[in-house]
């Protein structure tokens, strides 16, 4: 399995992105990609181009997701989300051999 790449849009604090990086995950933030100010749809298209899983804090969006994907948002406590992302990232890295 390929390593999971995570793209955080501008709704996610850079500190969170940096914290995920410190945990050994492949993370790219909207700020580091030069994507501040893009619409939600443009952020999702960028993540798709990068073959990255988008991590956002936005609960609703006026933009339609690309390819007609359902816009499903689960509200979880942030610490739980970060732990789950870390576990998934580490698991995918361990199975890439």
Sketch the domain layout of the chain as residue ranges. Answer: 5-92
Whether the Cβ atoms of residue 17 and residue 81 lie closer than 8 Å to each other = no
Can you tell me whether residue 6 is helix, strand or coil?
A: strand
Phi first, then psi, for residue 2 (nearest 5°) are -70, 155
When pLDDT is averaged across residues 36-40 and rounded to a whole number, the result is: 90
Q: Within 13 Å, how many C-alpha atoms sit on residue 21's CB side? A: 12
Give the pLDDT mean for 14-33: 89
CA distances from 31 to 12, 35, 56, 66 (A): 10, 6, 13, 22
Residue 94, pLDDT score: 63
Q: Region 43-54: what's the mean pLDDT?
A: 90
pLDDT at 76 over 70: no
Determine the average pLDDT of the residues in 59-66.
52
Q: Which pLDDT does position 8 carry in this prediction?
A: 92
pLDDT of amino acid 74: 39
């Amino acid at each position: 399995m390929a390593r999971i790449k995570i793209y955080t849009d501008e709704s996610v604090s850079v500190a969170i992105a940096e914290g995920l990086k410190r945990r050994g995950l492949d993370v790219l933030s909207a700020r580091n990609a030069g994507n501040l100010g893009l619409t939600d749809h443009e952020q999702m298209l960028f993540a798709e181009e990068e073959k990255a899983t988008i991590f956002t804090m936005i609960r609703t969006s006026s933009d339609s997701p690309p390819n007609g994907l359902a816009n499903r948002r689960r509200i979880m406590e942030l610490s739980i989300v970060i732990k789950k992302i870390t576990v998934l990232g580490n698991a995918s890295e361990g199975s890439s051999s």
